[in-house]
Amino acid sequence: MDTRTVTTPLDLPADHPGTSDAAYRARRAAIAAVGEAHRPGDPIPEVAYAPEEDAVWGTVARELAALHEDLAIDAYRQGVARLALPTDRVPQLAAVSARLTDLTGWAITPVPGLVPTRTFYGSLADRRFMSTQYIRHHSVPFYTPEPDVVHELVGHANALAEPRLAALYEQSGRAARRCGSDAALAAFSRVFWFSLEFGVLREAGVLRAYGAGLLSSYGEIQVFRRAQVRPLDVRAMATTDYDITQYQPVLFAADSFAHAEDVLATFFTGWDDDAHARLMAFPPGRSSHPAEGGAPRAR
């Protein structure tokens, strides 16, 4: 997810359901240690998940798959079919990474938890996705306040298995790498948030999700159509703050997948400190800035 900060493997958000569960905390730390010890180029060690962890994965994966039939865009569902994640056990990152490499040239790097923003986004330029391996607390299988293996694999890995979505992720990483200033990176990260994390678009006459945050959230994916839906507008996205602890009250919708690709690819490929300065200098409410591209906008 976005807004990544450095934490130790034992840090848990105050509202995490596992905060008062010592066994869960120890388990999460042990799995995080696998990511902590991993070095680039090393094979990804397997994690021996417990039956209750496999059960959490199975419950969430099956329920989300049913919801995706109507609520996820076609390209994402193609990625789901190509990656073919198991539904009876937590997938091993090593196996998912190998499959992604065969499909689209992507690979997964295990990490112990949240990593610095520049590191996380920058790795996307190399077609490397940094992923946690621990899973949410079993008491609430449909909720997690932090990215876990469900979010990473259901939300992101499935998308990375589809070539057009995978290309957008890589372009976003290249954009992040060109950001010299923290302000440019922050603006970029907001666009990432409102697209590859919480993006929606119209397909077959209905609003569907392509953002990993929506696609991996059992609760939010069922209500996102009730959000305030605004036209795709990278300037508005780059300057709109968000709260990661609540369902998103505002979403930005493309008119089609091709429209999203056009606008986002143009934004990502042109983004740097100068583009940021131009975007911030441009009066709000207008949409013809070069950084937004020339995509047609039916409103």
* Catalytic (active site) residue 156: yes
Query: Which helix (DSSP H) or strand (DSSP E) does residue 98 occupy?
Result: helix 93-104
Let me know how long the chain is. Answer: 299
* Smallest separation, CB 266 to Fe ion (Å): 23
Single out the residue of 94, 102, 220, 49 nearest to residue 151, CA to CA: 220
Residue of minimal CB distance from Fe ion?
1
For residues 207 and 253, the answer to whether their CB atoms sit within 8 Å is yes
200: β partners: 209, 253
- The per-residue b/e assignment along 23-55, b for 16 or more CB within 10 angstroms, e otherwise, is ebbebbbebbebbeebeeeeebbebebeeebbb
Query: Which helix (DSSP H) or strand (DSSP E) does residue 23 occupy?
Result: helix 22-37
The yes or no reply on residue 149 touching Fe ion (CB under 5 A) is no
* Smallest separation, CB 132 to Fe ion (Å): 10
Q: Of these residues, 38, 156, 259, 276, which one is catalytic?
A: 156
* Smallest separation, CB 67 to Fe ion (Å): 18
* Smallest separation, CB 282 to Fe ion (Å): 29
* Smallest separation, CB 88 to Fe ion (Å): 24
Stretch that binds Fe ion, among 209-217, 236-244, 251-259, 276-284 (CB under 5 A): 209-217
Nearer to Fe ion, 9 or 199 (CB): 199
Structure-token pair, residue 242:
């968000």
Nearer to Fe ion, 1 or 108 (CB): 1
Structure-token pair, residue 232:
């795709």
Nearer to Fe ion, 122 or 292 (CB): 122
Q: What's the CA gap between 175 and 90, in Å, rounded?
A: 32
| Rg of the chain in Å (alpha carbons) | 18
Token look-up 């869960």 returns: 24
Nearer to Fe ion, 159 or 291 (CB): 159
* Smallest separation, CB 152 to Fe ion (Å): 7
Stretch that binds Fe ion, among 59-67, 187-195, 204-212, 260-268 (CB under 5 A): 204-212
Stretch that binds Fe ion, among 71-79, 96-104, 212-220, 224-232 (CB under 5 A): 212-220
* Catalytic (active site) residue 63: no
Q: Of these residues, 53, 152, 170, 197, which one is catalytic?
A: 197
Stretch that binds Fe ion, among 15-23, 33-41, 205-213, 235-243 (CB under 5 A): 205-213
Token look-up 């079993």 returns: 138
* Residue 199 vs residues 39, 73, 143, 257: alpha-carbon distances, Å: 32, 10, 20, 11
Nearer to Fe ion, 153 or 212 (CB): 212
* Catalytic (active site) residue 197: yes
* Catalytic (active site) residue 16: no
* Residue 40 vs residues 5, 73, 109, 141, 217: alpha-carbon distances, Å: 20, 33, 8, 31, 30
Size of the site for Fe ion (CB under 5 A): 2
The yes or no reply on residue 1 touching Fe ion (CB under 5 A) is yes
Amino acid found at 106: W
- Site residues (vs Fe ion, CB under 5 A): 1, 212
**Enzyme catalytic residues:** 151, 156, 197, 216
